[in-house]
Amino acid sequence: MSAPPRGDPVRNAGGRGAGRWLFALGMAAIGVVFVLAAITFAKLPKEIADPARVAEQGLGRMVVAAVVKAVFLLVMAYAGSLFASKGLELYQAACGKEGQ
């Protein structure tokens, strides 16, 4: 009895499934980032336009907080894209296709 070939679908079914789930997880993370960004930055102009809130917190502090949120959202988007990329690579490797 010989070992199944490298690209055998039966042998690589687990890798294909894991690749699909990892890709879906990455895409979901990117979707969450877009929703959080839309929520966060839709509120920002209203907060800056409110003189009482600006006087309470200070404009500089509000801008710094917005920049910090933007940096965290960029990091989250990058992590989600890495998950999706690795999921695609795992799926291709499980199918026996070499990536470029």
Per-position pLDDT tens, the chain of length 100: 455 555 555 567 888 889 899 999 999 999 999 999 999 888 887 877 778 877 888 888 888 888 999 999 999 999 999 999 999 998 888 887 655 4
d(CA 3, CA 97): 19
Contact between 20 and 87 under an 8 Å Cβ cutoff? The reply is yes
| In a domain? residue 30 | yes
Residue 87 CB: number of other CB atoms within 10 A? Answer: 20
The pLDDT value recorded for residue 5 is 55
The pLDDT value recorded for residue 92 is 86
| In a domain? residue 99 | no
If one counts the domains in the chain, the total is 1
The pLDDT value recorded for residue 2 is 53
Residue 90 CB: number of other CB atoms within 10 A? Answer: 20
Helix (H) or strand (E) holding 3: none
Nearest alpha-carbon partner for 23 in 89, 91, 66, 84: 84
| In a domain? residue 50 | yes
| Domain enclosing residue 37, as ranges | 13-94
